[in-house]
């Protein structure tokens, strides 16, 4: 009887230990599952909204010019400008790496001009004379009805020279200094690839933008370098765009810096004798919100 009691107690203790161990394993498995599901899947957000602004260096290139004097004057007497750009962007994240963005921002092209003296002369033809030294005279004798003799003078034009006396009646000397500014609303469409390093991320984007002219002011020297004329600007234009967004994650938002490059795909000015394209190299600073 004592042996049986010991055996029964031993079996009961073994069963109790087995049940406690099983409960422990179940709790551990549940905890493990919770840990696995938490980090990336639970924090991944499909949308990102950004606001930003920053300076851009505006530079231009003129091609197709046949006049060296015109090209030299524009290159020497026009200066690049720094333009401020502001905008917003909506980003859709397909996954942790690939994303698509659509936005809107303003960008002002142009330059500061300071043309040295431009001369515009007006002339007048004051007189026209004929040099008679080249006229030849022929005398012809004939007998009249009374039996007498007389002569006829005949003038023959051998080589006549016309001399024109041209007088400058007006000289306009012009100095012109001003600011050329052409502001476009830019609508960028871009694809990005994102690299994540803990709280730091780098998003490389490539794409294009559609520009709509909002306002413009300013003038250029004309092709003859004798006057000032208004430019004929394109109302819409296409740009090529590349950027890299470097962001740091805070509790409820991200702060970022974004170097950006933009290039006009065609001439911004409609002109039969030359093409004018702008590039902008800038850096935006902004905030983004994931949701």
CA 269 to mean position of chain CA atoms = 12
Q: Which residue has the tokens 């994240």?
A: 93
Alpha carbon distance 252, 238 (integer Å): 36
Is the CB of residue 236 less than 8 Å from the CB of residue 211?
A: yes
| Per-domain residue ranges of the chain | 44-118+176-290, 124-168
Q: Which residues are registered as beta bridge partners of 247?
A: 201, 256
Residue 163 token pair: 């001399």
Q: Which residue has the tokens 């990005």?
A: 192
17-53 pLDDT, tens digit per residue, is: 566 655 554 555 554 454 444 444 456 899 999 999 9
Nearest residue to 54 via CA among 259, 278, 262: 259
DSSP assignment of 28-72: HHHHHHHHHHSHHHHH--SEEEEEEEEEEEEEEEEE----HHHHH
pLDDT tens string for the chain (291 positions)? 544 555 455 556 566 656 665 555 455 555 445 444 444 445 689 999 999 999 999 999 999 988 899 999 999 999 999 999 999 999 999 999 999 999 999 999 999 999 987 765 565 555 555 555 556 667 676 676 776 777 776 766 666 565 555 555 555 666 899 999 999 999 999 999 999 999 999 999 999 999 999 999 999 999 888 899 999 999 999 999 999 999 999 989 999 999 999 999 999 999 998 999 999 999 999 999 999
CATH class for the domain made up of 44-118+176-290: mainly beta
Is the CB of residue 96 less than 8 Å from the CB of residue 249?
A: no
187-225 pLDDT, tens digit per residue, is: 999 999 999 999 999 999 999 999 999 999 999 999 888
What is the overall mean pLDDT for the chain? 83
Question: Can you give the length of the chain in residues?
Answer: 291
Residue 171 token pair: 């000289």
Residue 56 token pair: 């851009």
Strands, DSSP E only, in 198-274? 200-217, 220-221, 228-229, 236-249, 254-264
């Amino acid at each position: 009887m004592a042996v049986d009691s010991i055996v029964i107690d031993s079996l009961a203790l073994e069963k109790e230990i087995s049940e406690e161990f099983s409960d422990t394993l179940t709790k551990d498995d549940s905890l493990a599952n919770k840990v696995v599901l938490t980090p990336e899947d639970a924090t991944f957000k499909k949308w990102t909204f950004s606001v930003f602004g920053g300076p851009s260096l505006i530079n231009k290139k003129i091609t197709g010019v046949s006049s060296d004097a015109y090209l030299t004057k524009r290159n020497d007497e026009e200066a690049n400008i720094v333009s401020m750009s502001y905008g917003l962007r909506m980003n859709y994240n397909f996954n942790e790496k690939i994303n698509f963005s659509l936005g809107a921002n303003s960008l002002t092209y142009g330059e500061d001009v300071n043309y040295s003296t431009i001369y515009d002369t007006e002339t007048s033809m004051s007189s026209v004379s004929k040099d008679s030294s080249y006229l030849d005279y022929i005398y012809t004798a004939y007998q009249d009805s009374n039996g007498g003799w007389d002569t006829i003078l005949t003038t023959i034009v051998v080589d006549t020279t016309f001399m024109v006396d041209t007088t400058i009646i007006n000289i306009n000397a012009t100095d012109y200094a001003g600011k050329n500014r052409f502001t476009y609303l830019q609508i960028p469409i871009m694809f990005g690839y994102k690299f994540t390093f803990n709280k730091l991320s780098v998003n490389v984007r490539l794409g294009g933008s559609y520009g709509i002219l909002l306002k413009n002011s300013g003038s250029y020297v004309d092709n003859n370098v004798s006057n000032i004329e208004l430019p004929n600007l394109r109302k819409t234009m296409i740009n090529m765009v590349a950027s890299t967004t470097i962001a740091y994650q805070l509790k409820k938002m991200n702060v970022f810096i974004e170097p950006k490059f933009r290039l006009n795909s065609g001439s911004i000015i409609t002109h039969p004798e030359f093409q004018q394209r702008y590039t902008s190299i800038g850096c935006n600073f902004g905030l983004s919100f994931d949701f």
